[in-house]
Amino acid sequence: MGLSDQQTSKLELSEAVNGTKVFNFAVARVRFIGTLQAQDVRVFFRLFPASTTSLAYDLTTTYRRGEHGGATIPLLGVLNNQLVTIPCFASARVDSATTSLNAQADPPNVQTIPISGTERKVYFGA
């Protein structure tokens, strides 16, 4: 099983395959130096299919956002009726069959970074 084998290294949507737990995750490190506290710092994670030809930063298509209770929520990216980005969360995903994706919460990926005269590293994940 090599890293170049697409079948063995692909991301898995389920939590287990044939009884074996699967762990897919992403980690982001945010570095901060500041004289003011950075409140409610948010990090969003997205998956991009290989067939995507453009990652242009467009809030109406690829990087769509919603809002719930004053918090920004990443939504599915859609372009020309095609799914182009999928947001990922540290928290459980809402059931979109019964709940609006705007209701998705992700508290682990919202942090306050305290004042620091030196570089501070804060980690986020999905």
pLDDT tens digits along 16-58: 778 887 777 889 999 998 888 899 999 999 988 767 667 789 9
Q: Where are the domains of the chain?
A: 32-125
Structure confidence by residue, pLDDT tens digits, 51-83: 766 778 999 999 999 988 888 999 999 988 988
Of the pLDDT bands very low, low, confident and very high (cuts 50, 70, 90), residue 4 is low
Interior CA angle at 47 toward 78 and 41, to 5°?
95
Residue 9 has pLDDT above 60, yes or no: no
Longest alpha-carbon distance in the chain: 51
- Which pLDDT score is estimated for 3? 47
* Stronger pLDDT, 113 or 18, i.e. the higher one: 113
- The residue assigned the tokens 């990922």 is 88
Interior CA angle at 26 toward 24 and 29, to 5°?
160
- Which pLDDT score is estimated for 7? 61
- Which pLDDT score is estimated for 18? 83
